[in-house]
Structure 1
């Protein structure tokens, strides 16, 4: 969420305005600039502070929308540079240090390095579905009837004995690039699970289309996998790949079934690459 729009494009709710100024009196004379690009919540930049207002109704079976989880992750990871610094948690909103830069567009190896670092962390978060059987059940639980081909069969893969931190929404719009550094934002759906989830989301043709305008090339996908630090994770991803991307297609179909035309096109692209 780095595109600046007119402040009038996203009207600031009066209650939020009062709450923010109560917490940050020094921002009283500063303009609110709406930041666009996200698909779940509303974000404004006020001086060097980002104000994020959650919209609970935008949660989905694949992407929850948990303010408490995001606040905790920002607190725990700020010193690593992998996430912004949390400044304040309010009622249904948070404030964090605004990240200057642009959403990721190119350089997949750089993303692999950042995700590898995230996946070495462990935080007390919800446990994600892991292993081929659990992922298959999860995908089936929300896949709308009539939208998808049969769920692909994959080799049996066991759940990780030691789950790792997973961002949960590792798409280009949530990767802010400044020089050689990437900071991950939008931590509203993290969990403890298998890093293959983040890898699949980043490599997803649908998610790349929605957030960057085009799917990765085969060379870009190969460069990402070659640069990812943990070869065991890469091998697990390759074994689970058809199922992981079928689940992403199921999410896109779920959104499309609710009338979101962007996701209908994304669903067709994801299915075509299965």
Structure 2
């Protein structure tokens, strides 16, 4: 159950009325989330845990609220109902989106991300990582937080080919993994907007295609034909070519992140680390 004083706050604001039930949702890995089953419709309550600092993914309730409001008319985000504070942590309440976490059909996801990246919505968002030098710095920051013997192995596998920053930045979701994409027939909904940015669209492509993230949220990495279909259906050859050049850098940084997570108690990231290292090795062999 949510904290009693938070429930009192929601009732005072008439955001929950009458008889309601709460079902914990366990798809997220940072915040506390409940499905609220109410007489007038189901909602989702997310209580941010801002004391948990993640060096890869920002966790900002204000940014999530901004994006939900901005894209409310576009049909691919839940409708925001309210935001607030509870004992120093933020919370958001939004309509429950129908559907199940994404399992198959990469073309649908590619079309959704292309639509997002083509948006003209102007929001005051932080800048994303852009170019290989930026990714190299970020990966080094992550590895500096690690202490196991694997740190040296990951460090040694850092790519060498530089890729300059792009001027074609846009609004990116920042965490479009399978668990954050709900599918209801032909309709897709993007949830968990706590780390959007103005950045390189390749960042979103890399996160969705990441072997580690697909393993964690989908059960297995994508097959080669699924990856190819995704990149074809995205429909922007210039961005796809850029992603291909940056892919080793994204894999290396993700390996560093998986090592950090596994060293901090998330043992399910150990397999993700091995998958990203294999992706780096396979790329090196192919070249």
**TM-score (norm: length of structure 1):** 0.92
Q: Which shifted more, 15-24 or 188-197?
A: 15-24
Checking the alignment, whether the CA contact within 8 Å between 1:132 and 1:157 is kept in structure 2 is: yes
RMSD: 1.5
Q: Which residue of 2 aligns with 1:203?
A: 209
Q: Secondary structure at the match of 1:161?
A: coil
Greater C-alpha radius of gyration: 2
Matches within 5 A, 1:1-274: 11-46=1-36, 47=38, 48-91=42-85, 92-121=90-119, 122-143=122-143, 144-145=146-147, 146-147=149-150, 148-274=154-280
Q: Distance in 1 between matches of 2:19 and 2:135?
A: 49
Extract unaligned runs of 5+ from structure 2: 281-287
**TM-score (norm: length of structure 2):** 0.88
Aligned CA distance change for structure 1 residues 206 and 14 (closer, same or farther; 3 Å): same
Count, aligned residues: 264
Q: Distance in 1 between matches of 2:251 and 2:174?
A: 14
Q: Distance in 2 between matches of 1:153 and 1:84?
A: 39
Provide, for residues 79-121 of structure 1, a one-character-per-residue CA deviation record: whole Å limited to 9, x for no partner. Answer: 1112111110111100111101100000000000001111113
Provide, for residues 229-264 of structure 1, a one-character-per-residue CA deviation record: whole Å limited to 9, x for no partner. Answer: 221111110000000111111111111111211111
Checking the alignment, whether the CA contact within 8 Å between 2:135 and 2:250 is kept in structure 1 is: yes
Extract unaligned runs of 5+ from structure 1: 1-10
Q: Distance in 2 between matches of 1:152 and 1:238?
A: 16
Q: Distance in 2 between matches of 1:151 and 1:119?
A: 31
Q: Secondary structure at the match of 1:129?
A: coil
